[in-house]
Amino acid sequence: GAGVSQSPRYKVTKRGQDVALRCDPISGHVSLYWYRQALGQGPEFLTYFNYEAQQDKSGLPNDRFSAERPEGSISTLTIQRTEQRDSAMYRCASSRTTTSYEQYFGPGTRLTVT
């Protein structure tokens, strides 16, 4: 079946613009996670959802970052007033249940802020 999909795959934006990154999890997966991955580093946890409820947003760097999953399926990560330091690969993952340890990652969105 289809895996986790993310769009856009690449996004170049100017400093100060808002961006919205989309994640479409594997069908039926109830938990969804957002990570940020810098070059040469492992993924860094940002936030996660069980169904439509945001369970933990402790990893969001500041209040310019927000995420939602209004219907418990597709999720959007929004970054307002982007800064150059926001440039990174943003990865989404999903898991089948709220207690599944295996997370399936999407291909990521490469964000470049100029």
Partner 1 sequence: RKEVEQDPGPFNVPEGATVAFNCTYSNSASQSFFWYRQDCRKEPKLLMSVYSSGNEDGRFTAQLNRASQYISLLIRDSKLSDSATYLCVVLVSGGYNKLIFGAGTRLAVHP
- Residues of this chain that bind partner 1 (CB under 8 A): 31, 33, 35, 40-45, 48, 55-56, 91, 95, 98-108
CA 105 – CA 109 distance, rounded (Å): 12
Q: Which is nearer to partner 1, 16 or 61 (CB)?
A: 61
Q: Which two tokens stand for residue 30?
A: 């109830």
CA 14 – CA 49 distance, rounded (Å): 29
CA 43 – CA 91 distance, rounded (Å): 8
Q: How far is the CB of 12 from partner 1 (least distance, A)?
A: 18
CA 71 – CA 28 distance, rounded (Å): 12
Q: How far is the CB of 62 from partner 1 (least distance, A)?
A: 19
Q: Which is nearer to partner 1, 31 or 82 (CB)?
A: 31
Q: How far is the CB of 105 from partner 1 (least distance, A)?
A: 4
Q: Which is nearer to partner 1, 100 or 114 (CB)?
A: 100
Q: How far is the CB of 41 from partner 1 (least distance, A)?
A: 5
Tell me which DSSP letter residue 86 carries. G
